[in-house]
């Protein structure tokens, strides 16, 4: 989360069941970085899997 805070991007962490368990959202008012996509990843079997933008489903 520190990386996202430093670079002013939103973060969404999902578990094995694709349920969000941690969110960090930054707004335009707070100075969101519009040039970088949000960070979305899944934690499964003690591994970190990034979710590319073209594979994301809206939730």
Domain that holds residue 23: 2-55
In tens, the pLDDT along 3-39 reads 999 999 999 999 998 899 999 999 888 898 888 899 9
> Taking Cα atoms as reference points, which of 13, 32, 29 lies closest to residue 21?
13
Rounded Cα–Cα distance for residues 43 and 34 (Å): 26
Q: Does residue 44 contact residue 14 with C-beta atoms inside 8 Å?
A: no
**Per the structure, how many domains does the chain have?**
1
pTM comes to: 0.81
């Amino acid at each position: 989360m520190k990386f996202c805070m430093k670079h002013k991007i939103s973060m969404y962490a999902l578990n094995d069941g694709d349920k969000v368990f941690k969110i960090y959202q930054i707004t335009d008012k707070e100075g969101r970085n519009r040039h970088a996509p949000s960070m979305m990843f899944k934690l499964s079997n003690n591994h970190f899997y990034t979710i590319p933008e073209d594979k994301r489903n809206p939730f």
